[in-house]
Each structure stands twice: as C-alpha cells, then as structure tokens.
Copies of this chain bind each other. A is one copy, B any other.
Amino acid sequence: MSPVTNARLLFREIPSELPDPVSTFKYDTSENIDIDGFPLHGGFLVRALAFSLDPYMRNRMRPEDTEGDMPAFLLNKVITGFGVGVVIRSESPDFLVGAHVGGFMSYQEYCFFGDAAASALAMPALGLTVLENPYNLPWRYFVGNLGMTGQTAYYALKDVSEPQKGETIFISAAAGAVGLMLVQLAVSQGLRVIASCGSDAKAGLLRELGAAHVINRKTDDIFVELKKAGPIDIFIDHVGGITLEAAIENAAMHARFVICGAVSTYNGPMSDAYGVKNLWLVNRYRITIRPLVVIDWHEKYLSEFYKTVPEEIAAGRLKCYESVYRGLQSAGQGFKDMLTGASTGKTVIVISEE
C-alpha cells in the first residue's frame, strides 16, 4: 500500500488569553506514512480513534521555559494528551494487533510507539495501557467517563472529600466533563447536590439529574444562592476565583474543599486572577482544602473504578454526556467551546468510531 496522509495537530501559537480556534493549533496534512512498510524496530503502530480535550491543556500553552504542572506544548510540534486507539501493526508482545490502547498519545491519526512510555512525558501514570471493554462501550468513552474525566469524578467522592450520606455537596462547572459525572455519582450516593453552571439549558439538565439546587453563574448571584441552599459540607471546585470565595463564605463547619481545577484563571496571567479575600474563614468553619490530581489516586482506586463504572454505564444508570467534535481539524473550536462553557459534558475529538 502506498503512503497515506498522517494528519497531525500542531501547536502553532501561544495564546495570551482565550485560545483562538483558528490560530492556536495547526491542522497539518503534510506528513505521509507508509503504514505497511514503516519499520517497527520492536515497537507498534496505533491508529487513533479519539482524543481528549481538557482544561489542564491550557496550562501547557505557554513558553517552553516557563514552569508549569506538565511540560509545555512545543511550537510547531504535535501536541500530546489522552487518546485511545487500536494497534494495527506490532512487534511488541505487550501490544498485540487488534488491541485497544489508551494513555498519552501524540495527536495524529497514526502514532508509532517505540515503547509504551514514549508519549508519557516521563509520568508513568500517563503511559499507554491495553484497555478492556467487556461491555462493548464506545471506545471514545475511554478518554471521557472511563478515562481521566470519570476517574477524577470518582476519586473526588472517595476519602479526598470524605462524603457522608445526606451531606450537602456543591459542584462547580457541574455541566462540564467531570461535573456531570460527579453530579450523577453524588446523587446516587445520597448526597444533596448544589450545582453551578453557565446556562439555563445546562441548569435544566442538572435538575433532571437530581441536583437539589442549581445556580446559573451568569444570571444568579452565587453568594445569595449558596446562602439559600447551603451550608456546604463538600465543595468540588473546577472554577476557582469568586466561586471559591462564595463557597468559603457558605461553608458548613468541618467542610472539605477539593480543588480539581480553576478554569476561571486559566486564560490570563495569574496576577489578573480574582483574589480570594476570605481565606480566614478556613479557620472559622474549620475548612480543609485539598488538591485532587487524578494520577495521585490511581494506585488506590483505579482498579475499583474499572470494576464498577463501566457496568454502571452499560446498565444506563450512569450517563455519558459528550460534546463530540469530528477530526483533528475541529480541535481549536472544541477547545474554545470547552473553556468558555459553550459545550456540555466531555469534549472529545473522534477520529474514527472503530
């Protein structure tokens, strides 16, 4: 077979504010790959099925020499992140042809792995693994509710927030990828859910899912609403800034706050972020503030996660909400929609269904 195009997603420009859907990434089709003739040297070749778009990636859009959580995207190089694919050729005994794999990948249609750790940015928890899918769920779920997104939600309701049945949990960005799964899990575990989101349509969905009190952050006063609906025993935050300040003001005694994200601060320098003024109330209400970074909890909960969540989804007790974009050329728009709240649930780029 003659070489085919290997479309790739390059990082073209460091955004100063909200990433521009056109200029941030470059959809590049200049590279060809001879799928059958490509020498494997003991490695394996993966055809991509789906890639994840996640808010944490915004932090990687920075100058290479600036410190950050994870390595910066390199200008004019292929970006990396969570993906899922199928092995189409292999000389590796651990990754056989036909196996489905998930983990950190380069965002291109065909991805060669000299070994499984190749794209893992030296973080073992991000390395490629073979996926099991006994319920025949869509493979794209493995970058969403069955991937980092779902794992974050699942871990948040474990000892990191110490939930007790009947307690009140506040979930910000509740119609986002992690939020929608969190709301469902929290309701099913007998927690009373307060949810915030950015539109009436999202508010409606959250009510349908069982949220007791929904706040539209664009039209409601979050301080007033939390005062009505609180106090808050648990806060799972994806927003930061004024949302966090309002939650602190409305905390119950011995509240547990879990910081999953701070999307309100991602699109500008930290010096422009909203400053939280009432941290002293941490003492008054005996609030503990903890970080939640998904890779920290895999060892403790990943196998439990895979034992329970796929079955819940297959049985329809846990729904997967997605904003699906088709092809790597749609990544720029998908990323912007995710950060601005124009999309609902998990943002995923589908390359191929199978």
Contacts and interface: CB of A to CB of B under 8 A. Distances in A.
A118 interface: no
Given A288-B289, A288-B290, A288-B291, A69 B283 contact: yes
A286 to B, nearest CB: 5
Contacts of A271: 277
Nearest to A272: B277
Interface string A286-302: 11111111001000000
Nearest to A271: B277
Given A276-B276, A277-B273, A292 B288 contact: no
Contacts of A309: none
Interface footprint category on A: 20 to 34
B283 A291 contact: yes
B270 A280 contact: yes
Q: Which of A259, A260, A265, A291 has the most CB of B within 10 A?
A: A291
A275 B244 CA distance: 12
A310 interface: no
A259 B279 contact: yes
A274 B296 CA distance: 32
A296 B286 contact: yes
A280 B293 contact: no
A324 interface: no
Contacts of A260: 283
A184 B296 CA distance: 34
A270 B259 contact: no
Contacts of A273: 277-278, 280
Contact of A279 (B262, B272, B296): B262
27 contacts: A68-B284, A69-B284, A240-B279, A240-B280, A244-B279, A259-B280, A259-B283, A261-B280, A262-B279, A265-B277, A270-B280, A273-B277, A273-B280, A274-B275, A275-B276, A276-B276, A276-B279, A282-B289, A282-B291, A283-B292, A285-B291, A286-B296, A287-B289, A287-B291, A288-B288, A289-B289, A289-B290
